Amino acid sequence: MADFPPAPDRSGDPASPSRPLPRRARWPWIVVLLLVLAAVGWWWWHGRTAQEAAPGAPGAPRGAGARGPRAPGAGGPPGAAGAFAMPPIPVKVEAARSENLDVFIKSLGTVTSFNTVTVRSRVDGELMKVLFKEGQRVKAGDLIAQIDPRAYQVALSQAQGTLQQNQAQLENARKDLDRYQTLFSQDSIARQQVDTQAALVRQYEGTLKTNQAAVDNARLQLDYTRVTAPIAGRVGLRQVDQGNLVRSSDTNGLVIITQTQPISVIFTIAESDLPRVLQQLRGGNRLAVEAYDRADLIKIADGVLDTLDNQIDVTTGTVKMKARFENKDESLFPNQFVNARLHVRTLKDATVIPTAAVQRGTPGTFVYVVKPDNTIDVRVIKLGQPNGERVAVTEGLKPGEQVVVEGVDRLRAGAKVDVVTGAAEVPAAAGSQLQRSGEGGSRPNRGQTPRP
């Protein structure tokens, strides 16, 4: 039997299967295993989340943002048990009415005085008296100030003396002319002497007219020392105190008088609204104008359209209007900002609903109509002219039909409603009741498509 050499000792060989791998050789395998486990876990979690979020998936909520447990049968077809489990939705309704609707054009206006006068002195002198109280009402012709009249009284007396002197000269010249004419008829003097005397008379007559004008001017200057109100209105704060020297060239004047009865409001309307206004004016109609406060809530005064501008402002596309207000109670004040409402026409027997009932979405403009069986019908309508909180409906609605004005957030076609009457309010917890019944989160319909 042949002798074989002994087997080599491989106990020191690192590749020997009988020897465990070093610690460094195990790390790559551990990392790969962890990566595989992480990938499997991510795939499983992502697939479950997508399945739960899918519409109609078992246990998934109906619609984004749903809260609470899903009602039984909520994912089933129409007519399933869950559809009838919804409680009636509390709403407030109002009937569409047939009435006359006033059509207004609204605009921001400014109260403007018909006349504003800065009272100035026409003569120079010391301000002797101030005969008005700041803020009081005055009438045209009322004495409001007195300027020192003494210098003008002297000038008047001097002009009157010159006038009397020339009157005496004229009277003497006329008597001489009468004598010369008598002598000339007796052929006692020459014709030239008579003509010379006649010319002298005419000269004195011209001088007399000049003297009379000087007297009238002096008297006028004397009258100007009495400062009177040129218009009726309310005086402002005085610009000059008593005792100061005033001049006719002063720009500030003595006081400003503003006419407040009547008073005007100037406002603008759009170019597109101008034909409707002109049609009424050409027909001889006087258009009413209402002035409201800055918040557009309280009516201040009633007036009429007085006139309009003769051209359109090309920079804004508007035209100016001027309304007249009697303002007997002085509720309008110059330079006050108001909201003007121009009454253009009145719609006879129009179908009118509250503006709160109007909804807008993909179908267009629509309302929720409550049918006799207390179910909802989504009705597309066409709107006419608005007037504050009410608007006319030209198509899609009849007088007497009930439209929802409160509680529209969760309505849908065919939904059952509970009409709240009287002064009661729609419960604020209606949304939570619907959530508990399995309907889901609130989805307001204003600006969205109504749910079928």
State pLDDT tens for residues 42-58.
Answer: 777 766 655 554 444 44
Give the pLDDT score at 29: 77
pLDDT band, very low/low/confident/very high, at 30 (cuts 50, 70, 90): confident
Mean of pLDDT values over 246-266 = 93
To the nearest 10°, report the CA torsion of 253, 257, 263, 268: 20
Cβ-based burial of 56 (10 A; exposed 0-12, middle 13-18, buried ≥19): exposed
d(CA 228, CA 82): 89
Higher pLDDT, 27 or 8: 27
Higher pLDDT, 9 or 280: 280
Contacts with 366 (C-beta within 8 Å, 6 or more apart), sequence order: 359, 360, 378, 379, 380, 381, 450
Give the pLDDT score at 80: 41
Q: Kindly provide the b/e burial profile for residues 235-255, where b requires at least 16 CB atoms within 10 angstroms of the residue's own CB.
A: bbebbbeeeeebeeebeebbb
Q: What's the angle, vertex CA 317, arms to CA 311 and CA 323, rounded to 5? A: 60
d(CA 340, CA 109): 6
Among the ranges given (59-73, 99-113, 200-214), the one the predictor scored with the smallest mean pLDDT: 59-73
Among the ranges given (55-59, 123-127, 170-174), the one the predictor scored with the smallest mean pLDDT: 55-59
d(CA 145, CA 230): 12
Q: Is residue 281's pLDDT more than 80?
A: yes
Closest CA to 352 of 319, 397, 301: 397
d(CA 442, CA 277): 46
Among the ranges given (16-25, 29-38, 212-221, 320-329), the one the predictor scored with the smallest mean pLDDT: 16-25
User: Hey, what domains does the chain have and what are their CATH numbers?
Assistant: 81-96+358-436 (2.40.420.20), 103-114+259-346 (2.40.30.170), 122-147+225-247 (2.40.50.100), 149-224 (1.10.287.470)
pTM of the predicted model as reported, rounded to 2 decimal places: 0.61
Give the pLDDT score at 284: 86
To the nearest 10°, report the CA torsion of 167, 168, 171, 177: -120
Report the percentage of the chain scoring pLDDT > 90: 50
Mean of pLDDT values over 399-427 = 83
- The secondary structure of residue 84, as a DSSP letter, is G
435 and 443 Cβ atoms separated by less than 8 Å: no
393 and 382 Cβ atoms separated by less than 8 Å: yes
Alpha-carbon distances of 280 from 117, 135, 248, 290, 347, rounded to whole Å: 34, 40, 48, 17, 14
Contacts with 432 (C-beta within 8 Å, 6 or more apart), sequence order: none
Helices and strands counted in the chain (H then E)? 5, 22
Mean of pLDDT values over 229-249 = 93
